[in-house]
Every structure is written in C-alpha cells, then in structure tokens.
Structure 1
Amino acid sequence: MGRRDINPSYDEVHPRATRYIVAHQICAVGDVRVQLDGLTHDDVIWTPYEDHRLSRPFETIYLFSGHLRLGSLSQRHMPERVLRQFGYEQSIPPSPMPTESPGAHVIDQRWLQFDHYLVTGLTAASSPSTCVPEYMSWFRTVSHHTFAEVSLEINPVLYHVIAFVVQMLSRQVSRLKMSVHIRVYLGALLVFSNA
C-alpha cells in the first residue's frame, strides 16, 4: 500500500499502469483495510497522471460516464468518483450501486455520442485534496470507520461475527441516513465487546 516500487525501465511514453512494480499476492480484506487506514495524506498519490500529461495529454473523452465494453463484457466507467485524479474538485458522486448493462447496441451508440455523456460542471482543483464543502460530511456517512481495539483477548470468531454485524448495521444506518451518533454507538459496541 502507499507508494509502490517504480519500474526502473519505465518512461512516460508507456502506459501509466506500467510505472509500478506490482506484487502478486493474496491479501485478506482486513489486512488491506488496516494498510489503507494507516495511510496519511502524504502517502496518497492524489494526481497519478499529472507527470504523464506531457506525453499523453488529457482528453475530454476520459470524462465519459457510462458503460464500456469489450466484446460481450461490459463495465461501468464512473470518472465522477475520482475527479481528484484528473485535477478537478471532488464533488459528491452518484451511487456506485450496480446497474444492469444497457446492452451492446446502446453502449456502442452512447460511446459514439460520448460528448452527451461527459461529466460536466467541473471546477479545477486548487490542490489535490480540494472538494466541495459538503463532500466530507457525505464521505463520513458512506465510509467505514476505524475503531481502536481495547483487547486482543477475545475469541477471534466472535470478534469477526461482531465486526460483521456492526459493519452491516453501519451500512443500513448509512442507507437510511440516520444519525452519526448511532454509528458511534455501534463502534462503541464493537470496542466494548473486546473488553
């Protein structure tokens, strides 16, 4: 996590993804979450394409929001969820909930008319962490929270069951847009279950 090892033979004419050496290993979600929770603002590469712009200029088609396809496979492309990476102020993105693929013909037609499906109303960011004022409040309602563990003496199975229940309840609270105080209570439940 954090900053990856850079491939010494990389140069900016190659695709940006080849810049980093990727370790092929299997990680448990909990391990990755711990690493992500440990990242600081300085550990995050907010604008990964910035240095690459001289050899590959930004094109408006990158802001196409919709399904992309390769043969019979399709996947939703949602640049509005990562506007910071493109140098724009991050706004509150639409839900990433899966939607049914509209079918190959419709995907192709939308792609041919991509300019009708671009993310609009963008503001250039003054810094990599710039976001609209209400973004952080929204983010806190949809993001997971970290809790300090009081004791490691608990039965691991019981701990994971309680953590799963708290996570599911927390998601339900987010969906219902209920008070953040309830989420804090659920977090306290997890911490006190370790005592």
Structure 2
Amino acid sequence: MRNSLRIAVSSPNPSASQRLIDTAGFLALEWAAPFAEVVMAEDGDVVISSEARAIGGILRMPASESKRLSEASIELGLETPLELVEDGNGNWGIDPELSNWTLLGTVLRAVSFSPSTREGAAISRLIRAKLESGEVKERLLATADLWAKEVVELAIKDIATVNPNRIRSWLTEQAAELESATSIHQILRSRYDDDIRQVISQK
C-alpha cells in the first residue's frame, strides 16, 4: 500500500543471539501488524532493535516452515544432539556469516542452549518450551504479542507527530479495507484463538 507503515528491525549488535532475537521480533511484528510492511533492514519509517521478550515470535512460524529451516541447518555438519553454548559476546561458536534464518534453523534443531547473556537466556527458554506444556508456549506468545503491540503503537505515535496527514490517509485506507467486516473484534479474536491452539498442538 502507498501509505503502509514500514517497520525495520535492525540491531547494531551483530552477535548471533541478537540476530536471532531480531528474527523473533520480525515474526512477532508480521503477525501483530499485517497492515504494515515489516522488514529486516536498516531503513524504514521506524527502525527498532528487537528485545529478548519478543522471542515467542518464533512460535508464530508454521510447523512446515520450522521443519524446513531445521532440516536445512543439517548441512552445517554440526554435532547431534545439538547443544549450543553462548559466550559472553552472544555468539555460539559457529560461522558468524550465517544468515539470520540459518541461525534460526540451528536453534530449532538444538536440544539445549547454555546462555551467557539476557538474549541467550530468552533463547534457552524458547528451546525448553519446545519440550514443555502448552502453557509455557502461550506465555511466550503473549509476551511477544505485547511487545509487538507496543512497538506498533509507538511507531504510529511517532509518525503522527511528524506527519499527521499521512496517518489520517493511512487510517482512511484501513477503514475502507475493513468496511465489509461485521465485527473486527470477533475476527481478530478468532484468529488469535485459532493460532494459539495450533501452536500449542505442535510438538
């Protein structure tokens, strides 16, 4: 869309752990703001660095995509079972040139993660959540959703301060697209509930 909000996820910290957190933030924002253009880049209407509490965004990935990324990482020739250990700089002792998606595939294959940073602790919680109850996954999802909502609200507020006409035009476009919906709340709530059930049922 011509007036769509562009949110860029980028971090000055190139560590493996922060890049994984950025990927989680990207996925959380994609789900929370389908009306926006979310990119992993250094330019946008708003440029943000993801936070550890966005880690649950990774659980938004469809099971088929998670499996594909996990299987693709096998080509790295890492030991099995894969036990990752983070150093004090947020790296895991693997090729630092790997893409964010390859790093994600590596984490999805891992059976444990020994953290040394706040970001690493979040990654460790994600890996444990794969083996624990649905309630743990639900908490990670809810925390990531809240983070994404806060980011979107701040982004809209910042743009409205600088260019209120753009926000007005954007809202008009959104209203036109949603005109046929009889109950926006019911649609969003249904989507949320269905998505939560799908994530919890995945093993």
Report 1 or 2 for greater relative contact order, CA contacts < 8 Å, sequence distance ≥ 6: 2
Q: TM-score, normalised by structure 2?
A: 0.26
Flag the structure with higher helix content.
2
Larger Rg: 1
